[in-house]
Amino acid sequence: MATKRILTGIRPTGALHLGHYVGALRQWVQLQDDYECFFLMADVQALTTHADRPAVIEDAVREVVLDWIGVGLDPTRPNVHFVLQSGVPELTELTVYFTMLVRHSEVLRNPTIKAEMAQLGKKKGPTLGFISYPVSQAADILLFTPYPPRKRDELLVPVGEDQVPHLEGTNVVARRFNRQYEKVFLPCTPLVGEVGRLPGTDGKDKMSKSLGNVIQLKDDPETVRKQVLQMFTDETKLRKGDPGHPEKCPVYLYHRTLGDSATLEDRASHCRSGELGCVECKKDLAKALNAFLDPIRARRAKAEKMPLGDYLREGTEKAREIAQVTMEAVRKAMHLDYPSVFNR
Ligand code: ATP
Ligand code: MG
């Protein structure tokens, strides 16, 4: 039987939002029927931007587990594992080895790193940990390689569009390692959903906590309504009656992605003709989003009483079992397999 594994993750820096859902979680939920899944709570990677606020990370771990269960991930299934990154020291070890295989200039060419560095601003400048996080992300992924890798095995990584350069980099590392030492790693397969980047409620190209343009999965109906009514629409449609351009409008994109598909075509044509005003369209969206979020809110409330720590502990232990196998092969390939070096 082929091994079909998923490794993907999220940084616990706060509660999750619709961008995380559309870019990542929606695919995760579908895939948990067919794959052995490792969902990584990337608390170490969260330090790349939150080293001065570790308590925020600690609190966010619980919020993210609640969101995961809220959207329908099920850690009680034997094939679904919630993994706490700081509980897997092998990840740190593999990161160090990989840093020897990646050039500084390669990381700096990564377009996502460039964009995120610009967002960090010049005041403090990025830490070494920040600049090298794509390398540690390569370790996160490749630690879960089926070993020894066989032809029909699969290591699938469902992510939003901004992660694609990191996955390309991950496969450069995998191939380089395999060529230079021994064939240990299976290159990963990226999977980006239909909408790889959900814009923010302010019309900026990515919904993101740090930009404050989010709708959280746990927001109450009134908060959602307020956020939606403030949303930007097609900027050439100033008042009802003006013809709109749904393909350029973030509100329409939300309708298309999370709303009622049965009314979508009518909505587009009524927008184009001018018959449908933006305020009405936004009120419809608030209703649709609240209908979409209701079952998530209900499951999240139930999850409050579940043994969340146990799920993380069990998943982390399972991850470490796999980590031992991979790391034994890695150390051997790199001539680091203490103590057998003394016996040669
Ligand atoms: P934030 O910017 O809100 O802090 P983040 O980008 O730091 O979020 P990550 O943990 O880096 O969150 O991302 C987790 C997953 O969610 C990744 O696969 C990422 O691509 C996806 N994702 C995050 N925001 C969006 C978005 N606006 N649209 C689509 N996918 C997204
Ligand atoms: Mg990110």
Mean predicted lDDT score pLDDT of the chain: 95
- Give the residue among 111, 239, 225 at the shortest CA–CA distance from 163: 111
pLDDT of 237 reads 85
Q: At 3, is the pLDDT very low, low, confident or very high (cuts 50, 70, 90)?
A: very high
Task: Report whether residue 207 contacts ligand 1, using a CB cutoff of 6 Å.
Answer: yes
How far, in Å, CA of 137 to CA of 274, rounded? 47
Residue 129: is its pLDDT beyond 80? yes
> Checking DSSP bridges between strand 154-159 and strand 80-84, what pairing results, if any?
unpaired
The ligand whose atoms approach the alpha carbon of 162 most closely is 1
pLDDT of 121 strictly over 80:
no
Average pLDDT over residues 314-342: 94
Atom of ligand 1 nearest to the CA of 214: 3
Q: Whose CA is nearest to atom 4 of ligand 1?
A: 209
Q: Please say whether the beta carbons of 215 and 257 come within 8 A.
A: no
CB 217 within 8 A of CB 18: yes
Q: By three-state DSSP, how is residue 56 classified?
A: helix
Pair of tokens at residue 37: 């899944």
- pTM of this prediction? 0.96
Give the range with max mean pLDDT: 14-23, 118-127, 226-235.
14-23
Tell the residue nearest (CA) to atom 6 of ligand 1.
208
Alpha-carbon dihedral angle through residues 17, 19, 22, 25, given to the nearest 10 degrees: -50
Which atom of ligand 1 is least distant from the CA of 8? 18
Three-state secondary-structure class, residue 231: coil
In the beta sheet, which residues pair with residue 191? 158
CA distance 251 to 279: 10
Q: Which ligand is nearest to the CA of 9?
A: 1
Q: 221 Cβ partners below 8 Å, 6+ apart?
A: 290, 293
pLDDT attached to residue 125: 85
Identify the residue whose C-alpha is closest to ligand 1 atom 1. 208
Phi, psi (deg, nearest 5) at residue 206: -135, 125
- Please tell me the distance between residue 268's alpha carbon and the centre of ligand 2 in angstroms: 32
pLDDT tens profile 33-56: 999 999 999 999 999 999 999 999
Q: Which residues of 209-239 are buried (b: 16+ CB within 10 A; e: fewer)?
A: beeebbbbbbbeeeebbebbeebbbbeebee
Mode of pairing for the β-strands spanning 154-159 and 36-41: unpaired
Query: Which of 67-76, 125-134, 245-254, 333-342 shows the lowest per-residue confidence on average (mean pLDDT)?
Result: 333-342
Q: Which residues contact 271 (CB under 8 A, 6 or more apart)?
A: 234, 237, 244, 245, 246, 249, 252, 281
- Closest ligand to 13 CA? 1
Per-residue pLDDT tens over the stretch 142-151: 999 999 999 9
Q: Above pLDDT 70, what percent of the chain?
A: 100
| Sign of the CA dihedral with 43 first, then 44, 45, and 46 last | positive
pLDDT in tens, 68-98: 999 999 999 999 999 999 999 999 999 999 9
344 band by pLDDT with thresholds 50, 70 and 90: confident
Residue 17 alpha carbon, nearest atom of ligand 1: 3
| Longest pairwise C-alpha distance within the chain | 83
Over residues 266-303, the pLDDT tens digits come to 999 999 999 999 999 999 999 999 999 999 999 999 99
Q: Which residue has the tokens 């990337």?
A: 42
239 pLDDT band (50/70/90 cuts)? confident
Give the HSE-up count for residue 28: Cα atoms under 13 Å, Cβ half-sphere. Answer: 29
Distance CA 23, CA 79 (A): 22
Q: How many residues in the chain?
A: 344
**Does ligand 1 have an atom closer than 6 angstroms to the CB of 174?**
no
Name which residue leads in pLDDT, 279 or 343. Answer: 279
User: How many other C-beta atoms are found inside a 10 Å radius of the C-beta of residue 253?
Assistant: 17
From atom 2 of ligand 1, which residue's Cα is the shortest distance away? 208
Mutate to test the pocket of ligand 1, among 162, 167, 213, 257 (most ligand atoms within 8 A of CB): 162
